[in-house]
Amino acid sequence: MADTAVHAATDHGHDDHGTHHTTTGLSNNKLAMWLFLGSECLLFGGLISTYMLYRGRHSENLGPDQLWDIPFTSASSFVLLMSSLTMVLAVTAAKRRDDRNTSLWLTVTAMLGALFVAGQIYEFTVFYREGLGFTTSLFSSSFYTLTGFHGVHVTVGVIMLLSVVGILMKRRTGEDKSELVEMVGLYWHFVDIVWILIFTLVYLIPA
Amino acid sequence: MALIERPATRDGGLVPAVVTPSSSYGVFRRPVETKGWKSWLFTIDHKKLGIMYGVTAIFFFFLGGFEALLIRAQLATNEGTILSADKYNQMFTMHATTMVFLFVMPMAAAFANYFVPLQIGARDVAFPRINAFGFWCFLFGAIFINTSWFLGGAADGGWFMYAPNSSVPFSPTSGIDFWTLGLQITGIASLTGAINLIVTVINMRAPGMSLMKMPIFTWMILIVQFLLLFAIPVITVALFLLMFQRNFDATFFSVEAGADPLLWQHLFWIFGHPEVYILILPSFGIVSEVLPVFSKKPLFGYPLVVFSGAAIGFVGWGVWAHHMFASGLGPISVAVFSVATMAIAIPTGVKIVNWIMTMWGGKLVFTTAMLFAIGLIVQFTIGGLSGVTHAVAPSDTQQTDTYYIVAHFHYVLFGGAVLGIFSGLYYWWPKMFGKLLNETLGKWNFWLMIIGMNLTFGPMHIIGLQGQPRRMYQTTDARAGEGFFNLNFWNLVASIGSLILGIGAFLFVINVFYSHRKNGPAPLDPWDARSLEWMTASPPKEHNFDAIPTVHHLDEFFHRKYEDRGEGEHHEYHQVATAEDVLAEQEANADKHIHLPSPSYWPIVLAFGLPVMAYGVIYNIWLIVVGGAIVMAAMYGWGLEPATATPDDYDPPTPEGGAELEVAHG
Ligand code: HEM
């Protein structure tokens, strides 16, 4: 009969939506972010495959060899990489509950991200001036689609970073915000890693 | 409802605190109603959302069925004139799109939403507001796709929309644009739903419920959500490429521009083949719940059923190219995919054996739910066997694009997914609505559907092997053939069958209305069931469980009702408690504080912005801006709103409101 006794669980109600007592101990929010990023891998997988399939399909004088400005893109890649570093600093500050430094580093991260996006827009304009429109060739369409998608991801990241800064400034409850910062951090690092992949496959490996 | 305090009544139940809705519904006072239409529109309760998913999905089942009947009416006679060639193309495309994306998938979402939290002993899903958002994405996306009928014609490229047929020169109306953008929106529903349910299952199980004590339906749903998680982004890419092709003049699929037409096929089927397991596994889960209950035996080989489900999920990723045997992949690819496809028959066969062994020696009770479950085993097996015949590539090249294929996938989709869904409806109806469905009507419902489906899809094997192509809008007497294999005859049989099938399915709706008028409240545990969802009131209270149960067994509820008095390997179960006893005990030990997240405006507002943007892509760029603004505003509203209502959302303000509540995330 032991099993038929209903075990008087006193306060499990608290577990339901909280982040504290989940079955696995992982926070719901972070788990969700990991899952989402897992899904994003396939999204970029599809886009990168499309690009790899089509990267050779362009006219004689408008291919990667004529267009790429490796020093410039390396510089902007470096900027994005550094933003991962500042993101780490933001997360550690958030864990210390040091709101001031968290905001500071989040802002710096957002600035670096914005700088990268600006660089990308500049790069696109240069290519466009040289004659590479979105529909010029299969190569151009798939290039702009892939890097465009990545650019949108960075932009969304910048918006998220600034929103977190906004939330921190309001500081309504003074509660622990480190999880929020960590989540945005996960996203940010992911976007960064994807760029490393794109930079290698698209820019560095000769077609 | 924000907070349920426990002023314990004499019989120990919980009385919900009286909540007066706020008098002003300004943007910044959130909805707190528990009754009336607002309580549905802004709900985040997984049970309400489950019902909303279900009602919408069944509506689309009948819409898709109506389209199918038009198809069969057209083909009933030679040179049919009911549909023009153009309308016929739209009809089979939308029939399939509706059935797959707007019926079976959301119907699985309905069951998953309603029953997964109950089966794992949770009070809601992990992210209730995202859950609501998913539903509205599905509904708005579905409506969006179907508005194309009135705006120049629906999509007409077939449900897999092969390139280059899907390009503007071949399909100049906006139909395919509606299809592309609409599926993008319903895809958001699937993706957010997948994340939500995975987190729920992984993180919110009742104490003691290890993964291997989880009800089998929850297991199958978990596997399906992983498939969705990884399949949806692939179709997202494909749909984006198609949108760029059609609306922004890219040439991803234009052969004349040097594109590779197989790109679309690969992307589509890398999504599409996991998709067919996404369609079937929930029904496998339902049947694995129903068969043990009505055989009065535990599920035979529970771990095997779990692992074969997972195996199907894995191998399902490695077989997509069997849809492309006829496209010139090259002999090596064809051989590899052929073998992989045959391999997937093994875990599927394992499941069928397990189900039969579950029934073997059991005290079978032939309720309608049980009949549908047995129906699934039989009909799905037929479909599985014809499936193996086209895993053999040389034989498939004869069958591809004929009615033989149509026969095959209807045996697995209708005979598998749909029969499983009906089994679940009959089985869980008393739990969801507190009323049993009428069994006599149910049996008519079942038998007419079975007879109808075999008359409809059975002859299609013959028609197909005789060479009638699928997607052909007219049949001609000149090619009908003679004697037993006369195509006219079998086409007519199939069309009559589809009518019987339609009547059979409609009996379900009649049954619902009839039973709700005639039947009194259902008993608490009408089937002597085994899993946790039956350990609640029918329909369950808003907070599901008064006390979260601690789980010791697979089939926990059964073990609370029955005691094993056997020795060693010999089991002898004696009933020691009724469902009422178990529930009463739970109520007596009810939790003191139960926190539920509060309703919200933002999910529906956010979802509403998406079709506005989609119309913008087709008609006017400014609409994209408007839609985008709605989306942004809703996101900020959402982000700034706490998951539970604060005191001043109530009128008069509640002393505690949601202030002391846990922060719910969503
Ligand atoms: C209500 C009973 C149903 C009937 C009478 C029916 C009938 C048909 C017929 C005759 C076709 C072939 C059209 C053609 O190739 O010319 C067809 C195609 C199709 N049906 Fe059904 N069907 C039914 C239910 C379903 C269900 C429940 C599903 C899926 C869950 C489904 C999925 C499909 C798909 C994917 C196609 C292929 C469309 C294409 O070629 O693009 N059908 N159906």
CATH of the domain at A83: 1.20.120.80
The answer to whether residue A3 sits within a structural domain is: no
The tens digit of pLDDT for each residue in B622-655 reads 999 999 999 999 988 888 777 666 666 665 555 4
Closest-CA residue of chain B to A176: B663
The answer to whether residue A22 sits within a structural domain is: no
Is A98 a residue whose pLDDT tops 90? no
Share the mean pLDDT of chain B: 88
The answer to whether residue B574 sits within a structural domain is: yes
Confidence (pLDDT) at B588: 87
Domain region containing B383: 366-522
The answer to whether residue A28 sits within a structural domain is: no
The tens digit of pLDDT for each residue in B57-91 reads 999 999 999 999 999 999 999 888 999 999 999 99
B522, B547, B577: which is the final residue of a domain? Answer: B522
| Cross-chain Cβ contact B592/A11 below 8 Å | yes
Confidence (pLDDT) at A26: 84
- Residues B376 and B459 occupy one common structural domain: yes
Confidence (pLDDT) at B652: 53
- Residues B551 and B512 occupy one common structural domain: no
B72 close to ligand 1 (CB < 6 Angstrom): yes
The answer to whether residue B49 sits within a structural domain is: no
B522, B552, B572: which is the final residue of a domain? Answer: B522
How close does chain A come to B168, measured CA to CA in Å?
15
Is A99 a residue whose pLDDT tops 60? yes
Q: Cβ atoms within 10 A of the Cβ of B46, count?
A: 26
The answer to whether residue A148 sits within a structural domain is: yes
**Taking each helix axis from N to C terminus, what angle separates B262-295 and B419-433, rounded to the nearest 10 degrees?**
50
The answer to whether residue B661 sits within a structural domain is: no
| The two structure tokens encoding residue B129 | 């507001």
Confidence (pLDDT) at B654: 54
- Work out which ligand 1 atom sits closest to the CA atom of B104: 30
The answer to whether residue B649 sits within a structural domain is: no
- C-alpha–C-alpha distance, residues B39 and A34, integer Å: 32
| Cross-chain Cβ contact B563/A1 below 8 Å | yes
Place of tokens 């992210």: B127
Share the mean pLDDT of chain A: 85
- Residues B413 and B475 occupy one common structural domain: yes
Residues of chain A in contact with residue B561, where contact means CB-CB under 8 angstroms, are 4
| Cross-chain Cβ contact B205/A141 below 8 Å | no
Is A16 a residue whose pLDDT tops 50? no
The answer to whether residue A181 sits within a structural domain is: yes
- Residues B475 and B513 occupy one common structural domain: yes
- Residues B542 and B512 occupy one common structural domain: no
Confidence (pLDDT) at B504: 96
Is A4 a residue whose pLDDT tops 60? no
Confidence (pLDDT) at B195: 97
Residues of chain A in contact with residue B635, where contact means CB-CB under 8 angstroms, are none
The answer to whether residue B381 sits within a structural domain is: yes
Give CA separation, B516 vs B35, B388, B542, in Å.
Answer: 20, 43, 21
Which segments within B174-321 are labelled E, that is strand? none
- Residues B439 and B578 occupy one common structural domain: no
CA atoms within 13 A on the CB side of B342: 11
Q: Which helix (H) or strand (E) holds B603?
A: helix B602-618
- Residues B427 and B554 occupy one common structural domain: no
Residues of chain A in contact with residue B194, where contact means CB-CB under 8 angstroms, are 35, 39
The answer to whether residue A21 sits within a structural domain is: no
- Residues B488 and B570 occupy one common structural domain: no
pLDDT average, residue stretch B542-571: 88
Which of B257, B662, B665 shows the shortest C-beta gap to A29?
B665
Q: What's the gap in Å between B470 CA and the centre of ligand 1?
A: 10
| Cross-chain Cβ contact B230/A38 below 8 Å | yes
How close does chain A come to B164, measured CA to CA in Å?
15
How close does chain B come to A186, measured CA to CA in Å?
16
Pairing label, strands B562-564, B573-575: antiparallel
Q: Is the dihedral of CA B150, B156, B162, B163 positive or negative?
A: negative
- Residues B516 and B542 occupy one common structural domain: no
Is B657 a residue whose pLDDT tops 70? no
B131 near B193, Cβ under 8 Å? yes
Reported confidence tier of residue A11, pLDDT bands at 50, 70, 90 = very low
Residues of chain B in contact with residue A12, where contact means CB-CB under 8 angstroms, are 206-207, 547-548, 591
The answer to whether residue A151 sits within a structural domain is: yes
Q: What is the total count of domains within chain A?
A: 1
| Percent of chain B whose predicted confidence (pLDDT) is above 70 | 92
- C-alpha–C-alpha distance, residues B197 and B191, integer Å: 10
Give CA separation, A143 vs A53, A117, B417, in Å.
Answer: 11, 16, 40
Is B595 a residue whose pLDDT tops 80? no
- Residues B429 and B477 occupy one common structural domain: yes
Q: Which of B99, B445, B457 to mutate to test the pocket of ligand 1 (most atoms within 8 A of CB)?
A: B99
Q: How far is CA B63 from the centre of its chain?
A: 16
The answer to whether residue B328 sits within a structural domain is: no
**Which region among A5-14, B197-206, B323-332, B609-618 has the lowest average model confidence (pLDDT)?**
A5-14
Q: Which of B269, B403, B406 to mutate to test the pocket of ligand 1 (most atoms within 8 A of CB)?
A: B406
B142 close to ligand 1 (CB < 6 Angstrom): no
pLDDT average, residue stretch B396-409: 91
- pTM of the predicted protein model: 0.91
| Percent of chain A whose predicted confidence (pLDDT) is above 90 | 59
B492, B522, B552: which is the final residue of a domain? Answer: B522
Q: A162 or B594: whose pLDDT is higher?
A: A162
Q: Cβ atoms within 10 A of the Cβ of B522, count?
A: 18
- Residues B462 and B495 occupy one common structural domain: yes
B48 close to ligand 1 (CB < 6 Angstrom): no
The answer to whether residue B40 sits within a structural domain is: no
The answer to whether residue B385 sits within a structural domain is: yes
Confidence (pLDDT) at B492: 95
Confidence (pLDDT) at A12: 35
- Residues B458 and B561 occupy one common structural domain: no
B460 close to ligand 1 (CB < 6 Angstrom): no
Place of tokens 């958030």: A94
Domain region containing A107: 40-204
Confidence (pLDDT) at B9: 37
Reported confidence tier of residue B367, pLDDT bands at 50, 70, 90 = very high
Reported confidence tier of residue B243, pLDDT bands at 50, 70, 90 = very high
Q: What is the total count of domains within chain B?
A: 2
Measured by CA distance, the residue closest to atom 22 of ligand 1 is B68
**Which region among A188-202, B139-153, B256-270 has the lowest average model confidence (pLDDT)?**
B256-270
Residues of chain B in contact with residue A145, where contact means CB-CB under 8 angstroms, are 240-241, 244, 250
The answer to whether residue A33 sits within a structural domain is: no
